[in-house]
Amino acid sequence: MHSILFLFLAGFEILNPVAAKMAGSAEFVGRPVCTACHTEQAVQWSGSNHDQAMQLATSHTVLGNFDNATFTNFGVTSSFFKKNGRFMVRTVGPDGKLKDYEIKYTFGVEPLQQYLVEFPGGRLQALSLAWDTRSKQQGGQRWFHLYPDENIAYDDELHWTRPSQNWNSMCAECHSTNLEKNYDPVTRTFATSWSEIDVSCEACHGPGSNHVRWAEHKSGRGKLESGKGL
């Protein structure tokens, strides 16, 4: 009896390709596919902290003062300015010398916004100088150091150019969707990738391909009914 039942179920899987396909590994489908149905959630998500978790540095996304502002911490004065439409910071680099760096990405939005600088080897490093995005009445709208009471030299493990402040390995997974670090231990380089730069639908709900199949096929979706393919 058990053999007959097994053969029947096996035959069902073969004759029901939709269910068989749905049972496979899920894949990322992208936000446009999700929002085509979930329009209300899309409106709520737009402009949220998840939406602004990581963004390209532009005049619309950068909240910090880059109009030749300066900030001094333990005798080191860093300056924030614009050059040919790019957002720049002049601060101490990995060799202990002042150097100009371009801001590539913003990181977060409230109560503070951090900034990412690109280095060779596919690395992105998070500045230890951040912008307090709160209102002036709340004590914000100012530059500050994440370690205000510590004199962090360029060779300190907490310096912004060191591995402890590396975006690829320390920060990226929580701020982008479908992130792959792609670290090569031989060359000690990163080829980090993502399907969406911010915290999109599938960052929390998981890959959505099975859910899409569940929604599109009324029959043969029983295997994923309890979780609706998620």
Q: Is residue 190 part of a domain?
A: no
The total number of structural domains in the chain stands at 2
Question: Is the CB of residue 15 less than 8 Å from the CB of residue 70?
Answer: no
Task: Give the domain range for residue 87.
Answer: 52-176
pLDDT tens digits, one per residue of 92-140: 999 999 999 999 999 999 999 999 999 999 999 999 999 999 999 999 9
The whole-angstrom separation of Cα 38 and Cα 41 is 6
The whole-angstrom separation of Cα 216 and Cα 194 is 26
68 and 98 share one domain: yes
47 and 140 share one domain: no
Q: Is residue 129 part of a domain?
A: yes
Rounded to two decimals, what is the model's pTM?
0.82
pLDDT tens digits, one per residue of 30-58: 888 888 888 888 889 889 999 999 999 99
Tokens 């097994």 identify what position?
6
Mean pLDDT value of segment 162-189:
94
The amino acid that residue 120 corresponds to is P
Q: Is residue 83 part of a domain?
A: yes
Q: What is the pLDDT of residue 203?
A: 83
82 and 171 share one domain: yes
For the chain, the helix, strand and coil percentages under 3-state DSSP, each to the nearest 5: 30, 25, 45
**Local structure of residue 135 (DSSP, 8 states):** -
Radius of gyration of the chain (CA): 24
The whole-angstrom separation of Cα 190 and Cα 123 is 6
